[in-house]
Chain A
Amino acid sequence: MSLEVTAGKTPSAARLRKQSWYQRPRFKRLVAMVVTAVVMAQVTGVQGVRNDLFYALEENFTGTGIWIWLGIFLAIWAVREFFQDWARQALARVKAAAAPLPEDGTAKAAPGGLAGQVRRVADGGRRLSTLFRGHRAYQAGGLGALLLVLIMLPLMVSTFWQQVMVDQIGMFLLIAIGLNVVVGWAGMLDLGFIAFFAIGAYSAAFWTGGLPVEPPVELNNFLVVPIAVLTCLIAGVLLGAPTLRLRGDYLAIVTLGFHEIVYLTAKNWTEFTGGTRGANSDRFSLDLGFWSYEWGLDPAPYYWLQLAFIIGVLFLFLRLEHSRVGRAWTAIREDEVAAASTGVDTVRFKLLAFAIGASTSGIAGVIYASKLGFINSEMFLVLMSVLVLSYVVFGGMGSIPGVLLGTAILVWLPEYLRDTVDAQDRYMYLGGLLVVMMIYRPQGLWPSRRRQRELRMSQEGTGSADALGAQPGGAQG
């Protein structure tokens, strides 16, 4: 055989260098815009009828709706692609006009016209923001106003939305805040997180006497909360201890298995849990002797109760993030061996993350069970774990405001779509949104600075974007 044959063909460098038209970013963005327009036409148009699916497609894609949407999105694309320089210059001009005047008074008179207007508005904004930053009183005032809005919120919406806010948004917010500790801060991928939610819910049912078995003493739900927290702490450590050496995909499989164990126990141990037929749970009540109150069917009081729990948890967690504990989690996420060599007890902090996350989920379980007054095993499907994980990733792993925002939006969206699209299609649009988000904004809606940095480094080839699968540690030679 000749050498030429064994060496094979060497592709020409010129051919490899050439970038086809369909590989250009500009074209990719065009496709994304067209797809968005089509989806919007479908979302806002006629919905499919069970026995005539093509009727809706025909109606939506031959009418004027599709053209309006295509027009809007193609215009956005065109502006971005062809008028970018122009837009950038305009933005720069506005920025220059809005820039603060030099202190030395070289430009005493504010320019007239539009530029002057812009500057006056910008100056006002700056004064407001320094005022706000400088004084604790104003900060407290801002927070107070936000709190007031949150408290008034249920009074401004219909009962349907009140139910959604309590049964879905509030509940998922608590769970997502907990999962963020495990996934976002400590970097451990947990796919069985709902197991702890279930443990919390069954604790509530057990201690209020709702399960087929009698508890040693029947307790008020307010007392069940600390017990459920403790139970979930223990369960978190039980899951954490044998999985300490695992990370990334291996850990995900183990947590999935843990969820199945808890779920199947709830489903099949009917003498204890009531299985799929379910069990009752008591409602929250408070008896202070001189004053007593029972939370009833009205969702608004439950909303306020839940809000109090969420604010309490947030208050604790916001402190945690920048404490020694938070720094230890970050170090573990980066490199366990290096973390240990700087004095971080990796075992303890990983267990702590599991335990803290689990107990938050447990609180959510108690509130959920008591709000519905009824639970069964089918409420704790593994799908829920996946959903919560997607909320956390969507909002921005490791960022509390991001997680809150992401959860609120993703839980709200299917409920909102209930009025506009076919009920069984709702989660399809949710899926589409997640796909688009991960392609165009993988760091999430409101990412933490650290996560943003990780993604940037992975694009430059100097680091890994995989927040969950860093080196397992130990093996080095």
Chain B
Amino acid sequence: MSTNLDKDALPQPGDAATDGPTPLLELRDLHVYYGAIEALKGVSLTVPHGQVVALLGANGAGKSTTLKAASGMLRPRTGDVLLRGERVDGIKSHELVRFGIGHVPEGRRVFARMTILENLKMGAYRLRRPDPTDLERVFTLFPVLAERRKQIAGTLSGGEQQMLAIGRALMGKPDLLLLDEPSMGLAPLIVQQIFEILREINEQGTTLLLVEQNASQALRLADYGYVLETGAVVMSDQADALLSDPRVRAAYLGEAVE
């Protein structure tokens, strides 16, 4: 990144988002290493109940690493992950699923050789007794999937695979959905469609933490946004404030600085 973002944009204690009741998810001063490489250098963020929080940043900023630390795929060296005020860092990802965290990984990762239906059923794996209305809900949100429930997932288009990945995560009845670049490599029209569905999912009561490079789409959906740069949060504000911030516009929306 060549833009200089001021230090005064760092989240301060007592920021708007950290006030009030216990947030659903809170990351406190996370330090994550890959071997000797420090990928996260003290990331803190807060995701309140029922909201959509966007996490923006260039390639390699540490967005995916942050999500993986939140969903238990990585263990932070220091720092806390709090879910409903309770520490959950160190819990393995397959266990954390039971606490209501759904992770839609980067690059979709559907089970390519299973059918759509088998994929969705796998999504409900954590539930002892799967709820048939969950399947109906996913099929209502994504009618494309309903039409093709017998189709092999690997033969779906990129957009359909992304929808399937989101649908699979929803089958586990998450309270918090972590989405890693759902718009990656998709046509603008499909991105539009997916973001509309994400809004619907949020309105139905699921909290979203959304990692995106597509800043304008993400900030229009989000309530609050964080900007990550080389493993640290450099800006955070209400989404509409970020959307109109000239520095964000210059760095992420490709506009010249006036």
Which A residues are within 8 Å of any B CB, using their own CB? 324, 327-328, 330-331, 334-335, 337-346, 450, 453-454, 457, 460, 462-463, 476-477
Whether A331 contacts B109 by the Cβ 8 Å rule is: no
Closest to A460 in B: B155
Q: Does B94 contact A (CB under 8 A)?
A: yes
Q: Could you pull out 5 A-B pairs where Cβ atoms are within 8 angstroms?
A: A328-B125, A341-B93, A342-B123, A342-B172, A460-B155
Whether B105 contacts A341 by the Cβ 8 Å rule is: yes
List 18 extra interface pairs beyond A343-B125, A453-B152, A463-B154, CB under 8 A. A327-B122, A328-B125, A331-B122, A334-B114, A335-B109, A337-B73, A341-B93, A341-B97, A342-B172, A343-B94, A343-B172, A345-B94, A450-B113, A457-B112, A457-B152, A457-B155, A463-B152, A476-B106
Whether A476 contacts B113 by the Cβ 8 Å rule is: no
B residues 132-174 touching A (CB-CB < 8 Å): 152, 154-155, 168-169, 172
Tell me which of B71, B111, B121, B154 contacts A338 (CB under 8 A).
B111
Interface hub of A324, A327, A341 (most chain B Cβ within 10 A): A341
Whether A344 contacts B111 by the Cβ 8 Å rule is: no
Q: Does B75 contact A (CB under 8 A)?
A: no
Tell me which of A331, A343, A345, A346 contacts B111 (CB under 8 A).
A331
Residues of A within 8 A of B93 (CB): 340-341
Whether B155 contacts A338 by the Cβ 8 Å rule is: no
Q: Does B87 contact A (CB under 8 A)?
A: no
Closest to B171 in A: A342
Residues of A within 8 A of B105 (CB): 337-338, 341, 476
Residues of A within 8 A of B126 (CB): 342-343
Whether A477 contacts B64 by the Cβ 8 Å rule is: yes
In the assembled complex, the Cα of A453 lies from the Cα of B114 at a distance in Å of 9
Q: Does B31 contact A (CB under 8 A)?
A: no
Residues of B within 8 A of A341 (CB): 71, 73, 93-94, 97, 102-103, 105, 109, 169
Q: For residue B128, give the distance in angstroms from its CB to the closest CB of chain A.
A: 9
Residues of B within 8 A of A343 (CB): 94, 97-98, 125-126, 172
In the assembled complex, the Cα of A342 lies from the Cα of B164 at a distance in Å of 13
Whether B113 contacts A337 by the Cβ 8 Å rule is: no
Whether A340 contacts B122 by the Cβ 8 Å rule is: no
In the assembled complex, the Cα of A340 lies from the Cα of B152 at a distance in Å of 21
In the assembled complex, the Cα of A298 lies from the Cα of B102 at a distance in Å of 60
Residues of A within 8 A of B110 (CB): 338
In the assembled complex, the Cα of A331 lies from the Cα of B153 at a distance in Å of 13
Closest to A456 in B: B152
Q: For residue A462, give the distance in angstroms from its CB to the closest CB of chain B.
A: 5
Q: How large is the interface on B (under 10, 10 to 19, 20 to 34, 35 or more residues)?
A: 20 to 34
Whether A342 contacts B122 by the Cβ 8 Å rule is: yes
In the assembled complex, the Cα of A460 lies from the Cα of B93 at a distance in Å of 34
Q: For residue A458, give the distance in angstroms from its CB to the closest CB of chain B.
A: 10
Q: Does B50 contact A (CB under 8 A)?
A: no
Whether B94 contacts A340 by the Cβ 8 Å rule is: yes
5 cross-chain pairs, A with B, having the tightest CB-CB distances, nearest first: A343-B126, A343-B97, A334-B111, A338-B109, A463-B154
Closest to A465 in B: B113
Tell me which of B71, B122, B154 contacts A462 (CB under 8 A).
B154
If A335-B109, A342-B125, A462-B155 touch, does A330 touch B114 (CB 8 Å cutoff)?
Answer: yes
Whether A342 contacts B97 by the Cβ 8 Å rule is: yes
Residues of A within 8 A of B123 (CB): 342
If A457-B152, A457-B154, A476-B107 touch, does A344 touch B125 (CB 8 Å cutoff)?
Answer: yes
In the assembled complex, the Cα of A346 lies from the Cα of B98 at a distance in Å of 15
In the assembled complex, the Cα of A334 lies from the Cα of B92 at a distance in Å of 20
Residues of A within 8 A of B112 (CB): 334-335, 457, 462-463
Residues of A within 8 A of B73 (CB): 337, 340-341
Residues of A within 8 A of B95 (CB): 345
In the assembled complex, the Cα of A126 lies from the Cα of B50 at a distance in Å of 57
In the assembled complex, the Cα of A433 lies from the Cα of B171 at a distance in Å of 46
Q: For residue B38, give the distance in angstroms from its CB to the closest CB of chain A.
A: 16
Residues of B within 8 A of A344 (CB): 94, 125
Residues of A within 8 A of B103 (CB): 341
In the assembled complex, the Cα of A457 lies from the Cα of B48 at a distance in Å of 43
Q: For residue B62, give the distance in angstroms from its CB to the closest CB of chain A.
A: 11
Closest to B126 in A: A343
Residues of B within 8 A of A453 (CB): 113, 152
In the assembled complex, the Cα of A327 lies from the Cα of B114 at a distance in Å of 11
In the assembled complex, the Cα of A460 lies from the Cα of B155 at a distance in Å of 10
In the assembled complex, the Cα of A450 lies from the Cα of B115 at a distance in Å of 10
Residues of A within 8 A of B102 (CB): 341
If A342-B122, A457-B154, A457-B155 touch, does A337 touch B109 (CB 8 Å cutoff)?
Answer: yes
Residues of B within 8 A of A340 (CB): 73, 92-94
B residues 78-118 touching A (CB-CB < 8 Å): 92-95, 97-98, 102-103, 105-107, 109-114
Closest to B109 in A: A338
Q: For residue B107, give the distance in angstroms from its CB to the closest CB of chain A.
A: 6
Tell me which of B106, B107, B113 contacts A334 (CB under 8 A).
B113
Whether B111 contacts A335 by the Cβ 8 Å rule is: yes
In the assembled complex, the Cα of A457 lies from the Cα of B105 at a distance in Å of 23
Q: For residue B179, give the distance in angstroms from its CB to the closest CB of chain A.
A: 12
In the assembled complex, the Cα of A335 lies from the Cα of B168 at a distance in Å of 14
Closest to B96 in A: A343
Tell me which of B97, B109, B113 contacts A463 (CB under 8 A).
B113
In the assembled complex, the Cα of A477 lies from the Cα of B60 at a distance in Å of 8
In the assembled complex, the Cα of A222 lies from the Cα of B151 at a distance in Å of 49
Q: For residue A337, give the distance in angstroms from its CB to the closest CB of chain B.
A: 6
Closest to A330 in B: B114
In the assembled complex, the Cα of A337 lies from the Cα of B93 at a distance in Å of 9
Q: For residue A16, give the distance in angstroms from its CB to the closest CB of chain B.
A: 28
Residues of A within 8 A of B106 (CB): 476-477
Closest to B111 in A: A334
Residues of B within 8 A of A476 (CB): 64, 105-107, 109
In the assembled complex, the Cα of A309 lies from the Cα of B240 at a distance in Å of 69
Q: For residue B236, give the distance in angstroms from its CB to the closest CB of chain A.
A: 24
In the assembled complex, the Cα of A346 lies from the Cα of B112 at a distance in Å of 18
Whether A324 contacts B125 by the Cβ 8 Å rule is: yes
Q: For residue B7, give the distance in angstroms from its CB to the closest CB of chain A.
A: 28
Closest to B65 in A: A477
Q: For residue A256, give the distance in angstroms from its CB to the closest CB of chain B.
A: 28
Q: For residue A277, give the distance in angstroms from its CB to the closest CB of chain B.
A: 49
